[in-house]
Amino acid sequence: MSKKTMTLNLTEAEMAVLEELCDKKDLSKTVLLRQALRLYQRVEERLEKGDKLFFEDEASKEKAEIMIL
């Protein structure tokens, strides 16, 4: 599959976060950003359907909504 190239401008803070995450997950910047894009698309898909996105506390089973349309 052919690939397209893009230049990405990030602030210092954003770059720092990107590098930290890459280090932590042992992924290259491209791989990590592709994952981010996949997740973003999935989340949008569900939100558009009317679903909600929650984090659940493992211990208390309490749910906290993290994205409001």
Residues interacting with another protein, by CB under 8 A? Answer: 1, 25-28, 31, 34-35, 37-39, 41-42, 45
In this structure, what token pair is assigned to residue 42? 């999935």
Minimal distance, residue 59 CB to another protein, in Å: 18
CB of 33 to another protein, least distance (A): 11
**Rounded distance between C-alpha atoms, residue 27 and residue 25, angstroms:** 5
Nearer to another protein, 2 or 11 (CB): 2
Residue 15: CB atoms within 10 Å: 13
Which run of H or E residues covers position 49? Answer: helix 29-49
The distance of closest approach from Cβ of residue 39 to another protein in the complex, given in angstroms and rounded to an integer, is 6
